[in-house]
Amino acid sequence: MLIEIKVSHFAIIENLHLHFKEGFNVISGETGSGKSVLLKSLSLLMGNKGSADIIRTGHSQAIVEGSFDISTRDDIKQKLENYGIELDEDTLVVRRVLSADKSKVYLNGQMSSLNILRDIVSPLVEVTGPASPLIELTGQHENKNLLSPSYHLDLLDRYAGVWELRTHYHEAYEKLKDIERELESFSENGRNHAQRLDYLEYQRNEISALELQPGEDEVIELQIKKLKGMSRLLQFVTSAENVLDQDDDSVLSRINSLLKKSTDISHLDPEMGLKVSQLEGAKEIIEDVLFSMRSHVDKMDADAENLEKLETKLNDLRKLQKKYGPTLNDILESLVKIENEINVLQNSEKRSTELEKEKIEIKKEMQKYANELHKRRNQGATKLQDLVNQELMDLNMKGVIFSVTIEKRETFTSSGQDFVEFMSQTSIKDQAKPLAKYSSGGELSRILLSLKKVIGRSDYPRTYLFDEVDTGVSGETAEKVGKKLNTIAQGQQVICVTHLPQVAAFGDHHYLIQKNMLKDSVQMSVEELSDKERIKEIARLISGEKITKTSLAHAEALLSSL
């Protein structure tokens, strides 16, 4: 329900703060007083586009803000939650800010978009099941929903009580579409099946050959760093071997030469020969060191071979990273995807056969649902058109016949096999024509009014905006229009712009729109009328600008008779 609306710097509106209430809210005013401006501001709350030329002269922006009570609308609360919009005390606040360069949308203070706004409150959203829009605008030239066959189908299904059945059908329909998409993918893959499979197997073998483990790249890098440090030690050992033993002028060669010469001088000085002979001990020490170093070298040779393998593996890993992703995890994830696709391709024929069988069974199930929908829609259509025609007769639309056509087609759609359209004819002799070809906006509005009266309010209460639904009627018919509007408003909300006193008299709340001439501009105001003020306004609707005692008495009598 629309609780209140605030409008600033919008066309002829400087500042407007208006509270609406549950039930039948009537808006009246002289021609040109600004009713269309108020309705235009309301349309912005429903997601209609706004333009900078609507901004009041002398201001940089226009603001329209509306508050909705959604305490009984769990569907709207769920939508807000899905969009990540916070809900505060069962209230939805819609704020539109129009400026010269851009338009902004806020839902409960959060920046949003027109598409999200329309999804939540716009009457242009297709009515499907209990997810009714918060507001439905119905005017002489705004009966867009009533001209849509999809809307006709939704109204009929709501009246016939087949939403649950239609939901079951729709679930089967979506499953069928999923199967058809999967079969189509098999068909496309089948054209290059062998080539694709060869390529995938090459990729799998390329990755599997390295026998990679999670985190192994970091381990390899550490091992290589360690082994490369050991290569410096290997160089030292090799150099030591050369100095001590391998070079022609090595230490051991020189010691051996000294020991050989000592035998020649030992007879000259036995004591000197004894001293030189101690070099044998040094020789043994050097040989022991060399043996120890050689043993270590053997181990280092094995590590050197491992270093080469590790560097080769790391190099191959880097190549894979260029193809499959910057990390080892990316490569391993690619391997899983590749293996899954290989499995799908290898089992596609089997899976395709299974899907074809499943497709046949689902089509049987859908056909059962579609047949039942068709049967119950026909039953509902017969009752609906009879009751609507009774309402039309009550509204003095003599000769006008409302009917519902249901054409069962071969193809499955998301709602069944039926094409449903509301038709009308001006007399029993004329051919029935779609409502979309109906020329009179006023009569079209009364057909919708009759539908709303018959079908009753939807599973969720909402706000109906009726813009001059009473055009072209008067007297007793006007009174019946007012009564039906009041009936529709019970338990929900109707906001109706009217020129007829008979309709206005049925209102639970009455608002007057006035256009005031200021020194340099024009300004619109709206105020709720007291009981006395309401008598005066209804008298004006009866007699025009010149209010007489007779029209006042008539107005008072009209109100007291209800």
Beta strands in 54-188 (DSSP E): 61-69, 91-99, 103-107, 110-112, 135-139
Mean pLDDT within 68-92:
88
DSSP 462: -
Q: Which of 100-109, 160-169, 185-194 has the lowest mean pLDDT?
A: 185-194
Residue scoring higher pLDDT (60 or 196):
60
For residue 525, pLDDT over 50 is answered with yes
pLDDT above 70 covers a percentage of the chain that reads: 89
Confidence of residue 379 (pLDDT cuts 50, 70, 90): very high
For residue 140, pLDDT over 60 is answered with no
Mean pLDDT within 141-157:
74
For residue 370, pLDDT over 90 is answered with yes
For residue 442, pLDDT over 80 is answered with no
pLDDT at 199: 87
Confidence of residue 131 (pLDDT cuts 50, 70, 90): very low
pLDDT in tens, 319-366: 888 888 888 888 889 999 999 888 877 777 788 889 999 999 999 999
Mean pLDDT within 478-499:
87
For residue 381, pLDDT over 90 is answered with yes
What lies within 8 Å, CB to CB, of 258 at 6+ separation is 276, 279
Mean pLDDT within 84-104:
89
Neighbours of 473 (CB within 10 A): 22
pTM: 0.62
pLDDT at 441: 60
pLDDT at 376: 97
The residue assigned the tokens 């009308």 is 424
For residue 432, pLDDT over 80 is answered with yes
Structure tokens at 438: 């109906």
Structure tokens at 453: 């009266």
Confidence of residue 145 (pLDDT cuts 50, 70, 90): low
The residue assigned the tokens 């109706």 is 496
Structure tokens at 363: 């089509």
Neighbours of 90 (CB within 10 A): 13
| Averaged confidence pLDDT in the chain | 83
pLDDT at 302: 57
Q: Which of 3-17, 94-108, 243-257 has the lowest mean pLDDT?
A: 243-257
Which H, E and C letters describe 385-433, residue by residue?
A: HHHHHHHHHHCCCCCCEEEEEEEEEEEEECCEEEEEEEEEECCCCCCCE
Neighbours of 220 (CB within 10 A): 18
The residue assigned the tokens 């007699």 is 543
Closest CA relative to residue 530, chosen from 509, 547, 545, 550: 509
Confidence of residue 188 (pLDDT cuts 50, 70, 90): low
Residue scoring higher pLDDT (177 or 280):
177
Q: In 192-278, which ranges are continuous DSSP H helix?
A: 193-208, 216-241, 251-265, 270-277
pLDDT at 497: 87
